[in-house]
Structures are given as structure tokens and as C-alpha cells.
Structure 1
């Protein structure tokens, strides 16, 4: 926004300081004048020209005093205003640097806590969040470009092969193209879902997490049987408030992730729901290979599958837990991932409870 030039805050503070100082001086001189001209109760003899004589003697002194206060107030007010506004200057410089794209700079204002230091600390925290967000978006864009470029490159290679060798088995090429295109479509749909959840462009309605858990488990039962995984469900009726479609996607992603990344045989997945004082909790826990805390901390990043996890045809596009994290945040919830001591992963989603629909525990 273009603004007309005006007085600086420092000059305004200096003028305000000298104005109050001059007012205090005038009031003080007025009090002295009244004292000198109205003292009959002190027994003094007041001659007819007494007031005129006092005025002649008092006026130069009063003028000199006011002139001194004026100069002292301007100089002192300018210096004091500069010292008081010095932290604001540092904050302004940091803001300009952030506007130019430098998010790594921090104000780090020294001294004890006051209004300026609270503002500086809040600004530093905002810069840290922005820097982390920008870095995450850059990684996401790079990974998304790679994930979408790979199937396109494969498709181009297959088409070039078919063109160069017309006698090649076209059925095999078509099957391979179908697989590659399906994966590209899945990745695109996952990206669109991630964007929708980020924008929070959905309608909220009453949702029961326990029913969503049952639906997701029933849908993925064939996949569990194929992998030799047993899925156990249970818990309380858990009323929440949000998008049924997104929360079902969240639950499905968690259960599918628990089934795919499990033991080679005789694995187990536990899906439970619970009600707390003001929240409802969905927990998905699975057996599997041991995971380190560092591995678990990176699993919610987009396109992160874990360096030691085996890639399979059902693994997806690497956005499952990233979508879970985004949907949880869009519903003002918290997502917690923790490695199980015996191997595998425990994922907990805690959402605000729908207090308008109290339900008794499921038996």
C-alpha cells in the first residue's frame, strides 16, 4: 500500500515528550506567579506597582526556563525515543529481510521480557515455522515431480519400444502401461486429497470413529488375508465432528499401512477407539520389523516410505501417512507415531469429541 510521507514515530515521541514537559513547566511557572502575586496572608505589604515589578523580574526568568525546557525536551526526547525504538528497528530490518526471501535470519532481541521482546520472540517463532514450511513445500514439490515424472517416463519408454518393434507382444506392453498409469492416477488423486485437506474445504458433520474403523477394516479384509495378517477391532463408540469422507480415508490409510508394513506371515493389526474427557482416540497398532525413533519421525513426510521397509505392489505412492497427518491437522487433532518395543508401529489419532452426541461405551 502506497502511503503519503509523514513524521517518524521517533519525532512524534520526541514532540510528545517536549509538549508534556513544556506543559509541566508552564503549570509550574503559573503556580509560582500566583504565589508571588497573591500573598496577603503572609503579612507582606503589597504596593500598587508590586505586580508590575514582579512581572518585570519574573518574565525573563520564566522565558529562559521555558526555552531551556524546550531545548532539553527536544534533545532528551529524541535520545530517549531512539533508545526505546531501537528494538523496533531491528524487528523492521528482520521483516524486510524476510520479505526479500531470507527466512533464516532471527532477531534474538537480548534483555528481559517486555512488549518489544515478546513481539521479537513471536516474530522469530513465526520465521522458524515459515522456514520449516517452505523447506517442506520444496521437498514436497521435488518429490511430487519425481513421483509423477517416473510413470510418464516409463510410459514414454514403453510407447517408444512398441513403435520401434511392432512385432513385440502388445498385450504385455498394454498391461505394463495400465499398471503405470494406475499408479500415476493414484498419486494425482492423493495429491488432490492432500490439497483439499490442507485448505480445509470440507463440510463438518457428526462422525463415529468406531464405525469408520469397522468399515475400513471390512474393506481391507481381502488385503489382510492375502498378507496373512489378522485384524482385530474394538473399543467405544467415539463421536467426533468432521468430514466423514476424509476421516474414512484417514482410517483406511492407517489400516492399509499397518497391513502392508507388517511381518511376512502371522502378523497382527489392532484397531481400537476410545473416549476421553474432551477427545476421541483412534489407535492403529501393528506388528512388524523394529523401527528406530528417527525412522518413525520421518514417516509422515510426503513420499517417505522408510529406508528399510520393503516396497510392494500395495505400498501406495508414499502419501498415506502424510495424508493422515494433514487430515488430522485439518480437524484440529493430534497425530502421534511411536515404535513398538517388540517391533512395528503404533499410531494414535486424537480428535475433539462431539459433545453434542454423548454415547454410552460399546459393550
Structure 2
């Protein structure tokens, strides 16, 4: 925004300090003058035995008062300028950091030293904002690079299949169509997952009471056929668990968690446990499964886009690598927390804490 030039804050504070000092001094001198007029009567012999009158007292007092006021004016301006500069020094550092951030330098920190006050609270809040912003920008850049790579893969495969079909006229058209259909379906799934992730990040949804137990029921029914196909048993233990959020997004979150637990499980006779519970201020959803043993260092990376654990290779049911990333974004968009822990016997435990719905709005 273009603004017309004006007085600096330092100069305004200087003039304010000096003006206040002059006003206080003028009031003090006026009080002294009133005192002299009231309590020094005409004909009073004075300290030297001379009887001053009010005119003589005024002619003596006024020049001295003017000199004092002039001195105080200069003193107030100089002292106010110095004091304003010292007071505004932290603000200058904050402004400099803001300009650097606006120019793209998010690694700079103010790190204002000293005891806690308003300026240092502002500086600390700004530093915390820069930390989050830098992490968010880095994550977005990494995500954009990964998404570009993932989207380029099905397009490259389609191009290769079409090139082969053009050069080999004896190839079965039906097989080509089936392979192109599978590749195109995967690209559509990836695009839809990216749209869900974007919607969750933007928090563009209406919050309403949602019973997580009903969400779990719907998600498990949807994935029951997949679980039977892979020989996985789904064990649910749910109570009425009222939360606040988007029905569609919470269903997407739960479906992703259960799907992930089914796909990344034991080859045979695997199990998925899904539980919900309600606490005074939180609604809790827990999904855990049997499976391979995961290193603790690996578990923390599984929520990153397109990250898969050791031996978590792509299969027909493995998804597009955004399942837990979407879960993380939906949880954060609902002001919740997501916790991933490895099970000592193998597999993963995922716990989601969401704000509970008030009792009077529970379903």
C-alpha cells in the first residue's frame, strides 16, 4: 500500500515526551506563581527586609520561568529523542526481520534478548511464526515436487503404451485398453487425493456434530470386502463418540486409516483393531494392526506425502501414497492431534484426538 510520507514514530514520541514535560513544568511554575501571589502579601519585608510588590515579583519571576521552560524544552527534546530511540530499537529489528521475510528470507530470526515485555513477546511470536512458515513452505515445495513426480509417472506409462501400440499393430487392443484404464484410474485416484488434501489444508468445510462410532461403522463396511480378500479380520469396539467437524472429511480420514491398516498387514491372518472413546474434551479414534516390525525412526515419516515404510511397495490396493498425509491434514484442520507409534509385536498404532462435541449437541 502506497502511503504519503509522515512523521516518524520516534519524532512523534519525542514531541510527546517534550510536550508532556513542558506542560508539567508550566503547571508547576503556575502553581509556584499562584502560591507567591496568595501567600506573599504586599508590603512583606522579605528575606532582606525589602518589601516587594506583586509587579516587582512578576518582573523577577517571569524571565526566570521563561529560561527554565526553554531549558526544559531543549532537555525534553534531546532526552525524548534518545529515550524514544532506545524504546523503539526492538521495533526496528522486528521491522528489518519482516522485510527480510517479505523478500523470501524465512530463515532469519529476531532473537530479541532481555526480559519479557510487549516488544519481546511480539518478537518471540514473530520468530515462532517464521519457524512454522519456513517449515510449511519447505513441506509445500517437497509436496509439489513429489506430486509432480507421481503425476508424471502414469502419464509417462500411458505415453509409452500408446507408442508401443502405434509401432506394433499386431498387439491386442483389448489388453492395451485394460492397461490404459488401470493407469488412468490410478491417475484419477491420485488427483482426487490431492484435491481432498487441498480441501483439508484450506479448512473450507462446515463444522457440525459427528458421531465417530457411526463413521467407523460406515468405513469398515466399505472396506470389508477388501479385508476379506486379503484375509484380514476387522475388530471394532466403539461407543457413541460425538466430535465436531466435517462428516465427509472425518469419513475420509477413518477410511484412509482402516484401508492403510488392511493393506499394510500380515500376508495371512492379519488383524485390524478400530476403537473409539470419548473424554471430557476430546473424542479419540484408534486404529492399529498387525504387520511387519517398523523402526521408530521410520514411523514418524509415514505421514509425509508419498512416503511408504520398508517393503511397502505398490500393489493394486496400496493407494497413491497420500493416505496418512491426508489423515494428518484432516486432523490438523479439525484442531486435533495425530500420534503414530509402532507396536512391539509388529504393525502400527494410530491415535487421533479430536475436539469433542458439547453434550447438548451430541448425536
Tell me the TM-score normalized by structure 1. 0.93
Alpha-carbon deviation of 1:18?
0.6
Q: Which moved more, 1:210-219 or 1:48-57?
A: 48-57
How do 1:274-313 and structure 2 match up within 5 A? 274-313=277-316
- The separation in 2 between residues aligned to 1:199 and 1:264, in whole angstroms, is 38
2:322 alignment counterpart: 319
SS in 2 for 1:220: helix
Q: Which moved more, 1:322-331 or 1:306-315?
A: 306-315
* Residues 332-356 of structure 1, C-alpha deviations (whole Å, 9 max, x = no match): 2221111112211111112222222
Q: Which moved more, 1:322-331 or 1:105-114?
A: 322-331
1:356 alignment counterpart: 360
* Residues 39-97 of structure 1, C-alpha deviations (whole Å, 9 max, x = no match): 34799248896222222322222121111101111000000000000000000000011
How do 1:1-363 and structure 2 match up within 5 A? 1-40=1-40, 44-45=44-45, 50-354=53-357, 355-358=359-362
Would you say the 8 A contact 2:272–2:288 is kept in 1? yes
Q: Give the paired residue count.
A: 359
Structure 1 gap segments, 5+ residues each:
none
- The separation in 2 between residues aligned to 1:80 and 1:242, in whole angstroms, is 51
SS in 2 for 1:73: helix
Q: Relative to structure 1, is the Cα distance of residues 43 and 264 closer, same or farther in structure 2, using a 3 angstrom cutoff?
A: farther
Alpha-carbon deviation of 1:33?
2.1
Q: Which moved more, 1:84-93 or 1:248-257?
A: 248-257
- The separation in 2 between residues aligned to 1:258 and 1:42, in whole angstroms, is 103
- The separation in 1 between residues aligned to 2:288 and 2:310, in whole angstroms, is 20
- The separation in 2 between residues aligned to 1:291 and 1:259, in whole angstroms, is 16
- The separation in 1 between residues aligned to 2:144 and 2:79, in whole angstroms, is 55
Alpha-carbon deviation of 1:220?
1.3
- The separation in 1 between residues aligned to 2:273 and 2:112, in whole angstroms, is 50
- The separation in 2 between residues aligned to 1:49 and 1:161, in whole angstroms, is 120
- The separation in 2 between residues aligned to 1:218 and 1:169, in whole angstroms, is 38
Alpha-carbon deviation of 1:201?
2.5
* Residues 217-256 of structure 1, C-alpha deviations (whole Å, 9 max, x = no match): 1221221122221111112121223322221111111011
SS in 2 for 1:301: coil
- The separation in 1 between residues aligned to 2:134 and 2:169, in whole angstroms, is 52
Q: Which moved more, 1:212-221 or 1:121-130?
A: 212-221
- The separation in 2 between residues aligned to 1:9 and 1:42, in whole angstroms, is 50
Alpha-carbon deviation of 1:305?
1.5
Q: How large is the Cα RMSD of the aligned pairs?
A: 1.9
